[in-house]
Amino acid sequence: MIIDGMMHLETVGKHWDSLVDEVIEHYDCAGIDKGVVLATWMPSRESNDLTLAACRKYPDRFIPFGHVRPIDDWRDELEYITKELGWTGLKLHQGELRHGGPDIKATTRQIVERAAELGVRLVKIHLVDYPAVEELTREIASVTWILPHMGCYGQWQDMQKYCELARQRVNVYLDTCAVAPYYEFGKAFQWAGVDKITFATDGFEFSPLVEKTKIDTLRLPTPFQTPRLTDEEYGMIMGGTMARLLGLS
């Protein structure tokens, strides 16, 4: 089973009526069975209602993650997504977290600690700040942290640091989406350990077909002479590990 670990139901906050059906069309073309879906860059309730509607339309294809922004009533929204909807995954983004005050680490800590109290188990967080990530993942060990873009979007020179953090810390995982220097994956997967890598597309802005091909190519010889992915390793990356984290296996 191939699972996309992060599919946005918007493109930088823009949603249109046919988008959800278009995602399914892309999934069918790429051979992706299920996707973790969410929405950001819009008010928290609006984003979560969008995710809820999509999951009701395609319950066998979509797995919901909630979303909150610190400028909204995030406490009530966490109560809503956990107690009323029963969701156990949460998406946070530094572009929104920075509006919660001058200390983004403190804002993140407050939200994640409360989410954990309410039963959130998985936090997908875009926070390209290694010291903050290192501290938060160490001090809030009750949740599993999944860092998109190998943890270092736009600061690709730091990829090895995030990979080594994932290897060292049992509750830290990485995802593969929207990584520009994907040709570093062969080395990065060895730094982190294949069991710490999860496939994701960061659609709908990025193409599921393209993002999947970045992993597929590692089953062939690479110019860097890194080991080819075995069938078992490929299965773990493309869905096995994510299925375990989501409680699907």
| Sole residue written with tokens 């969701």 | 87
For domain 3-246, is the CATH number 3.20.20.140? yes
Give the pLDDT score at 30: 98
Give the pLDDT score at 249: 79
Q: Output the tens digit of pLDDT for each of the chain's 249 residues.
A: 999 999 999 999 999 999 999 999 999 999 999 999 999 999 999 999 999 999 999 999 999 999 999 999 999 999 999 999 999 999 999 999 999 999 999 999 999 999 999 999 999 999 999 999 999 999 999 999 999 999 999 999 999 999 999 999 999 999 999 999 999 999 999 999 999 999 999 999 999 999 999 999 999 998 888 999 999 999 999 999 999 999 997
Give the pLDDT score at 222: 86
Give the pLDDT score at 162: 98
Q: Is 220 exposed, middle or buried (0-12, 13-18, 19+ CB in 10 A)?
A: exposed
Domain boundaries in the chain?
3-246
State how far the Cα of 3 lies from the Cα of 189, in Å rounded to an integer. 18
